[in-house]
Structure 1
């Protein structure tokens, strides 16, 4: 098979146009093409009013070797890679003598680590501090509808992780030479996702579909011998010194908040970016970690129709294109970078706190993306130098986040409503006393106010400079009645747990930090890929220990 990329066609092209374009690119008669499949389809909307489809296709054609040689200098014609997933190991027929692998957290990283380990026959145990996804959904609605927060079961904690209550984006810019991302997408389709996620350049699923898919994947893990235990929070690690490596410790298991101890010499930490009490416990236990940069800002909402017109012109509303998105970056004069984050076409702004007395925003879309507003985080980069506290404190970023979230809680009235401001008022430096034509979607509700005290002065200055600059790319972006809602603080983990080439902690053998919480992913797809990589590394180490008779 050959892979051909960058085939451009108008959005209203007839079906026969694509095979004709393939034949033209390869300079062969159409009859020489046996078959083709679409590998990727994307929308190019850089020319306003003239969007087009861009295709990458895998083609079976006569004289492939000759064509590969002829197009050797063409970066858009190559041999199609083999993306078949192959397991690196399988459990011995008689089962394991060593303790079973343990996974802490059941978000995307934990799910895929557990699934792949189960498919290898290694029968993992999963402990998740939150509740199963159906119960968790009810708890989440409790905050959105009744201003009642359950700190252990919410947008951040519970089966499926934070990605369950999001746009369900399934794309990433990570390097993935082993095509683990294809394994993630294939498993999602098997669990009930639409097959189109295998070909769309920016696939997404939406919350309602994710709920049933997560349940299906859990059932497969259990059918393969895995065990998932909800409402089980890890309170401590069971460690011992490693006499063979001074300064190194070795993991022997975990202690739960209930007091129960689970023996395991191979533990995956798939915590997510909001497990702050667990991060503190790990720091106290001596697990290597360091503060890292992230970003903070607000959610901005516009009418989706405005974004559609700005991006697609006369084609706005065309069902073949769907709801338009955007990606924006501005380098402010004070040295900060402002950019759009987690853009949700046709979505809603949601309450995403996991701690009492805090307000946190995030964005979410359903599969249809047909809500009235578009929303995105408009965020500013922050670094450890901005956090305050003791120099070198790996938990300083958490304290920084908490201060902003507590201030947002106060500005919102102290009842989990969020502070909000019209864009026109924000740019003019005056408080909002009421909102305009754009109706904010945040539940449980918003309180018009002055957001200038919700973030540090340098962040406010950068945002006030960036929004008019974004107007040059998206006409209407600085719409006076557009709504800013605060605060967006959980863009990524505020810390990283360093790990070696074997994906184990640099100072605790048997501990595998992974996913968003450990600083190695930024979304559902990349977290799932990291979970697969960890499962493979863990399986090889575990089976080597099994073969060597280590206990």
Structure 2
């Protein structure tokens, strides 16, 4: 195949124009191009009056070397197709069916790969299947009745099911795991455009159907997905896991994938009691901020509503005068700020978008790096303690509703009396509160400094009526569970995996980690005989 980089076309181009541009670059008739495949598409918005897509494409032609020589273009090169390869089954006898805790991206992708290769995994999920889960979440947003085992954090699909469904990642991918994750998403129902979009996303409404099909695949191949199955204990003998306890049942689990997600605090407490090594790590906390999506579109694309590009996004970073990193995270174009709580008398928020991103507001997490030195406690779960203290304060500040404050009032340290021109977009009950009263001063100061800095990049970011909501405390796990070169804990049989174990930071990286752990198990053990 011949790869062409840096093909630029106006954003309203046709497919025919893309083929003609490729042919012109290769100095050959378009009819001689047998196949054209888009590898990557990104937006070039540096000139607002002339927006472009920039493409990388692979084309199939006859006499590739001749065509390459004739083109004489540094952006035209020969390329070999790279593919993801799952390892050949190992030779060690498999000591029973592998057990996976958690049906988020790490657990589901690990489960699919193990099921497809003959290992018949048992997947234990504390929450409910996605359809029942949506009903529970909608009920919580409507009347505040929280189910601690089935909410925005827990249930089929994990926390990412109630998000924007972003699939971009900064993880390096020499073994094509990222590509495999995207291909699996497409296989189970995602739009094929995610295979080449620079910033692919799925949307909360589409993700539900995808994770359901993944569960059906695991079951069809001899695996078993069990809901309402919270693990309440781990049986460890002589430094090796032997089983897990779910309710009154003890399940043999000599091979266990620990894909518990970043909010399974009770599970972490049990692991600590059972002597599983863990360590506190840095993460980030802060608030959600809402702006009109039209304003973001105008800054990024030069128009309020672009018929081709849709809702614009952004990603902003700043180093504060105190040395802390401040950045936007999980930006949701055309989305909503949602009550993402998972424990009684505590409150956390997140962002969510539907596939069409048609909401009136843009929102993103506005967060500040915190380290174990900030936690006010010691031990591996000191970060969990820190999160809980913030979430308790947020809950009390507005009697269990999402606490809201306009940015201008946050700066002044005063209660907001009403909204300005930015209309609120929330899922869950909310009310005005003095957020600045329950955040530590070093967080409030850093957030204000960050917002003012970001205004120089997105005009209007610091507008006084921008809506703040808190607290955003679940950006990533506050814990890391160490593992060796083959992804196993020092407690033999436990394979820490995904975001909850401290090895991922989003849907795609968690899914990729699920592939890694599945590979490690398969490379070591032979598949189960029927």
After TM superposition, the score normalised by the length of structure 2 is 0.95
1:269 and 1:383 map into 2 onto residues whose CA distance is 24
Say whether the 8 Å CA contact 2:95–2:255 is kept in structure 1.
Answer: no
1:212 has 2:212 as partner: no
Which of 113, 116, 120 aligns to 2:117? It is: 120
CA 1:35–1:350: 2 relative to 1, 3 Å:
same
Residue 288 of structure 1 is matched in structure 2 by 277
1:12 has 2:1 as partner: no
The secondary structure found in structure 1 opposite 2:525 is helix
1:339 and 1:435 map into 2 onto residues whose CA distance is 25
1:450 and 1:300 map into 2 onto residues whose CA distance is 15
1:370 has 2:349 as partner: no
Residue 503 of structure 1 is matched in structure 2 by 487
CA 1:289–1:18: 2 relative to 1, 3 Å:
same
Q: How does 1:303-382 map to 2 (within 5 A)?
A: 303-314=292-303, 316-382=304-370
Q: How does 1:132-531 map to 2 (within 5 A)?
A: 132-241=129-238, 249-256=239-246, 258-314=247-303, 316-390=304-378, 393-412=379-398, 414=399, 416-505=400-489, 507-531=490-514
Shift of 1:535: 0.6
Q: Deviations over 1:243-264 (max 9, x none)?
A: xxxxxx22222122x1311112
2:443 and 2:3 map into 1 onto residues whose CA distance is 45
Shift of 1:429: 3.3
Residue 22 of structure 1 is matched in structure 2 by 22
CA 1:169–1:81: 2 relative to 1, 3 Å:
farther
For this pair of structures, how many residues does the alignment match?
A: 529
Shift of 1:303: 0.8
The secondary structure found in structure 2 opposite 1:296 is strand
Bigger shift: residues 178-187 or 270-279: 178-187
Shift of 1:25: 3.9
1:450 and 1:464 map into 2 onto residues whose CA distance is 15
The secondary structure found in structure 2 opposite 1:543 is coil
CA 1:72–1:250: 2 relative to 1, 3 Å:
farther
Q: Deviations over 1:276-335 (max 9, x none)?
A: 010111111111111111111110001111111111113x31221010001111111111
Shift of 1:45: 2.2
RMSD value over aligned CA atoms? 2.2
1:197 and 1:142 map into 2 onto residues whose CA distance is 32
Gaps of 5+ in 1: 242-248
Shift of 1:431: 2.4
The secondary structure found in structure 1 opposite 2:302 is helix
1:456 and 1:472 map into 2 onto residues whose CA distance is 26
Say whether the 8 Å CA contact 2:291–2:363 is kept in structure 1.
Answer: yes
1:508 and 1:3 map into 2 onto residues whose CA distance is 47
Say whether the 8 Å CA contact 2:403–2:469 is kept in structure 1.
Answer: yes
Shift of 1:454: 2.8
Shift of 1:65: 4.0
1:350 and 1:53 map into 2 onto residues whose CA distance is 33
1:35 has 2:40 as partner: no
The secondary structure found in structure 1 opposite 2:426 is coil
Shift of 1:103: 0.4
The secondary structure found in structure 1 opposite 2:193 is helix
CA 1:295–1:260: 2 relative to 1, 3 Å:
same
Shift of 1:435: 1.9
Q: Deviations over 1:477-499 (max 9, x none)?
A: 11221100111000000011111
2:88 and 2:220 map into 1 onto residues whose CA distance is 19
2:94 and 2:331 map into 1 onto residues whose CA distance is 48
1:130 has 2:127 as partner: yes
1:220 and 1:358 map into 2 onto residues whose CA distance is 36
Bigger shift: residues 484-493 or 432-441: 432-441
Say whether the 8 Å CA contact 2:90–2:523 is kept in structure 1.
Answer: no
Which of 510, 519, 524 aligns to 1:541? It is: 524
2:225 and 2:407 map into 1 onto residues whose CA distance is 46
CA 1:427–1:60: 2 relative to 1, 3 Å:
same
